[in-house]
Homo-oligomer: A and B are copies of this chain.
Amino acid sequence: MVETRRRQIEAVASSLFREQGYAGTSVRDIARGLAIQGASLYAHVASKEDVLWAIVRRAADQFEAAADEADRATRGATAPGRLEALVQAHVGVLTIDVGQASVFVREWRSLSTERRARMGARRDAYEGRWRALIADGSRTGAFAPADAPLAATYLLTALNGIVTWYRPDGPLSPRAIAAEYVALSLRALGAGRP
């Protein structure tokens, strides 16, 4: 019950943060979106930043869990096969709740210093998985030689850009987007389809 309320708060806040930015959204705006009083909102959350923190942490949990699952499912596969699974996992999390993903991608820097540092470390570790896989594929010749950190950044920013234009009611399904983005990303790394 309390958990449901918190999820409603996060959903409303995500869509407001996506539309008008974190700095441009007040606790009063969030309360209005839930049709409750600002004071009632404070029974559930201590501050606007706590809502941001909850959204960003939930998104990070999902990206990590999806990447873990992709890793497990492709253990022993070639680097291109593993990258394909990783891209599909990432696009899946981006599109399943694009409001939340958009806040994760664009607003995490609005966190206060200590939380920003903690989230920055998680983001670095996540990006590190991509770097390691690209470096591994470059080493074995499955990928063209590449500056692995720069290539990982290139791929992840291209993928994360999905939050700026994806609409669940738009013409492209998450599956179609993932297929095209897998093809572009594998080719970018100099690999054919696995």
Write the residues of chain A forming the contact surface with B, with a CB cutoff of 8 angstroms: 20-24, 106, 110, 144, 146-147, 150-151, 153-158, 160-162, 164-165, 172, 177, 180-181, 183-185, 187-190
Contact = CB atoms under 8 A, between A and B. Distances in A.
Contacts of A144: 183, 187
Contact of A154 (B146, B184, B190): B184
A26 to B, nearest CB: 11
Nearest to A163: B157
Given A106-B106, A157-B158, A161-B160, A150 B190 contact: no
A58 B39 CA distance: 44
Contacts of A184: 146, 151, 154, 188-189
A144 B191 CA distance: 13
Contacts of A156: 161
A161 B153 CA distance: 8
A157 B150 contact: no
Nearest to A151: B184
Contact of A158 (B147, B154, B180, B183): B154
Contacts of A162: 157
Contacts of A146: 180, 183-184
Given A21-B22, A21-B110, A188-B188, 8 more contacts: A21-B23, A106-B106, A144-B183, A146-B184, A150-B180, A153-B161, A154-B161, A154-B184
Contacts of A150: 172, 177, 180-181
Contact of A181 (B110, B154, B160): B154
28 contacts: A20-B23, A21-B22, A21-B24, A24-B24, A24-B110, A144-B183, A146-B180, A146-B184, A150-B172, A150-B180, A150-B181, A151-B184, A154-B161, A154-B180, A154-B184, A155-B158, A156-B161, A157-B158, A157-B160, A157-B162, A158-B158, A158-B161, A160-B161, A185-B188, A187-B187, A187-B189, A187-B190, A188-B188
